[in-house]
Structure 1
Amino acid sequence: MFGKLLKATLTAAVVVLEAVCNDETEQKKKEKFMREHSDGLNGINFFDESCTEEEASNAYDRGEYYY
């Protein structure tokens, strides 16, 4: 009984840790993308398309920017 409870608790902890790590990885990818394509004046240039950082962030979240 105690073993099953411990196993369930550890499984839940692993799932939560994976979700947190995955979110951090996605955030780092997004930040890297924004740094690479920044024009230095609060704008983003991606393959001759110019927009603000906020617009680019929203588009990145929607999956519009990819290589």
Structure 2
Amino acid sequence: MTVTVDAGRCIACGMCAYAAPEVFRVIGSASTVIAQPEGRDPRVRDAANGCPVNAIRVKG
């Protein structure tokens, strides 16, 4: 599973950092991937599906 955040779309709402704090952190005006998840983490998919501006992409 590979996760990316489109900083240009991100509004830094923090929902992803709340859902998966070991993967996401809000830094400045955008969320950042601080570590790729090990294996398939359903919380990461939930964060991507819940992103209000669809800035999170999950592959794999």
- Judge same fold: TM > 0.5, yes or no: no
Greater RCO (CA < 8 Å, at least 6 residues apart) = 2
- TM-score, scaled relative to structure 2: 0.26
Look at both structures and tell me which one has the larger radius of gyration over its CA atoms: 1
